[in-house]
Amino acid sequence: MERKIIVYHSGKTYHLLVEKIYQSDQIIKYKISGKDVQLMIQSNEPLLKGKGLNRRRVNWKLIEGQHSYASFVESITKAIEALQKQNPF
């Protein structure tokens, strides 16, 4: 299932597609694609939810792809978290 997100960074607007490609009891992997962006990131959200650690911060990790700004990847992760709160994948 693909979802669209909009990320603002350095005065530019990025329209990106987010697709959940893998989920286990420990991790979730997402593929993010756009005009100039091809990334794959993972989070440990299922592990934390499974252990009942709902208040603990989710760790995000860039698995594939490169981007010059870590803050851009952070903006993407915040947009994905906001999307999950509204309507989970």
Q: Kindly tell me the burial class for residue 66, based on how many C-beta atoms sit within 10 Å of its own C-beta (0-12, 13-18, 19 or more).
A: exposed
Helix (H), strand (E) at residue 67: none
Helix (H), strand (E) at residue 72: helix 70-86
| Amino acid 68: pLDDT | 76
| Amino acid 85: pLDDT | 84
| Amino acid 84: pLDDT | 85
Instruction: State the DSSP string of 22-53.
Output: EE-SS-EEEEEE-SS-EEEEEE-HHHHHHTT-
pLDDT digits (tens, 9 = 90+) for 14-70: 999 999 999 999 999 999 999 888 999 999 999 999 999 988 999 999 999 988 788
Tokens 């959200």, residue?
A: 45
pLDDT exceeds 80 at position 89: no
